[in-house]
Structure 1
Amino acid sequence: MTRILGAVLAGGQARRFGSDKALAPLDGTALLDHALASLAPHVSASVVVGRGEAPVPVVRDRPHPGLGPLGGIAGALAHAAGAGFDAVLTTACDTPMLPESLVSALRAAGAAHAAEAPTVGYWPVTLAEPLAAHLAEGGERSIRRWAARAGVVPVCPGLVLANVNTPDDLIRLASGSAARLKAPRPHAPSPRPDRSG
């Protein structure tokens, strides 16, 4: 059975949002908790990457903070490889919903990201070392461009995921889409991973 680590990328500075976006409430629940709940049915355990604290274990961006989402993916992959996982399923803290059809398409492809939202992806741990080397060498930080070179394919073109970049985005999502959100289940504690990341 494939062991999948869920990882919420939460290291952004949220300049357009103006405050801690991960904790912004949508339908009474923080965006970070919605993101964790969206991963829960598909993974064995979850972590949050790039925050100081979270309701699940936290790991560091790799090789250091400030590299954007690709550094978060690298951190999640490094942790997953060290903890015996086979792959990482990532989402972002500002993406509160993951359609089942998208997750199925990501897994079926073997190594893939959502065409319209590359922070949502399925990354085998075999990518951990190549990505770490790419970033350590100062390689560019575009997920799409690195993924194309690494053989990670885009899936579900045209599928636009709910995404919160500004307070207005959150208001629109709350008024138009919150009714379609399933109430997040209480998140069962995951086994504590090594915080050395």
Structure 2
Amino acid sequence: MRIFGCVLAGGIGRRMGADKALLRLAGQTLLGHAIARLEPQVERLAISANGDPARLAAYGLPILPDETPLGPLSGVLAALRWAAPLGATAVVTLAVDTPFAPGDLVPQLCLAAETAPEALAIASCAKDHPTCGLWPVSLADPLAAFLASGAKPRVLAFTDAHHAARAHFPDEAAFQNLNTPEDLAAAEALIKAAS
């Protein structure tokens, strides 16, 4: 399998009140944290992001805008359409606001995908984390049809319809989403306490 990666940074960060990708945690942007977690685990990496791509140019990665912004699945679709012509088998996605993602995210998703009929797998602990998933490039057309159908573009609705396997991780904190300024402050305090 050839696994590419994509950091999902296309949201507008309403609850955070700022562009999450560029917020700083322990001296590094959230995007920098996500890249550091995912890049060593994949063959190639891109960023799914809307708005002015110049703000992310310093990272030197392809910037993939949504064709139609309908939430995280639009970013997944952009990643699949980017990766397929480059020879990828699948894309692993990671939300930009998940700075503590496990270092074995990709291998565990790949193992779980072996049991799924469509080789789709999502991360799971106490609850599912479908924006952290392994998406076969063969799902691009079904995903495009799902987004065009007018159905509410919920990630779990699509992954459940395609029999996604669950890759189980022991540490729920690894998938902590930083959605508010309070979440960001708590994560900063956690890092300081651990150092």
Return the TM-score normalized by structure 2: 0.84
Deviation at 1:112, TM superposition (A): 0.5
Which residue number corresponds to residue 78 of structure 2?
Answer: 75
Gaps of 5+ in 2: 114-119
- Picking from 104, 108, 117, the partner of 2:111 is 108
Are 2:148 and 1:136 aligned?
yes
Deviation at 1:45, TM superposition (A): 1.1
Which residue number corresponds to residue 40 of structure 1?
Answer: 39
Misfit runs of 4+, over 4 Å: 178-181
CA contact (8 A) 1:102 1:156 kept: no
Gaps of 5+ in 1: 182-197
Q: SS state of the match for residue 100, structure 1? A: coil
Structure-to-structure mapping, 1:1-80, within 5 angstroms: 2-51=1-50, 52-53=52-53, 54=56, 55=59, 56-62=61-67, 64-65=68-69, 67-80=70-83
Deviation at 1:103, TM superposition (A): 3.0
Counterparts of 1:24 and 1:154 in 2: how far apart (Å)? 30
- Over aligned residues, Cα RMSD in angstroms? 1.9
Structure-to-structure mapping, 1:180-195, within 5 angstroms: none
Which residue number corresponds to residue 175 of structure 1?
Answer: 189
Counterparts of 2:46 and 2:192 in 1: how far apart (Å)? 24
In structure 2, give the amino acid aligned to 1:100: G
Deviation at 1:154, TM superposition (A): 2.7
Deviation at 1:159, TM superposition (A): 4.2
Which residue number corresponds to residue 116 of structure 2?
Answer: none
Structure-to-structure mapping, 1:109-124, within 5 angstroms: 109-110=112-113, 111-115=120-124, 116-124=128-136
Number of equivalent positions: 178
Counterparts of 2:155 and 2:109 in 1: how far apart (Å)? 15
Structure-to-structure mapping, 1:84-99, within 5 angstroms: 84-99=87-102
CA contact (8 A) 1:26 1:178 kept: no
Counterparts of 2:192 and 2:176 in 1: how far apart (Å)? 10
Deviation at 1:158, TM superposition (A): 6.6
Return the TM-score normalized by structure 1: 0.83
Deviation at 1:4, TM superposition (A): 1.4
- Identical aligned residues as a percent: 42
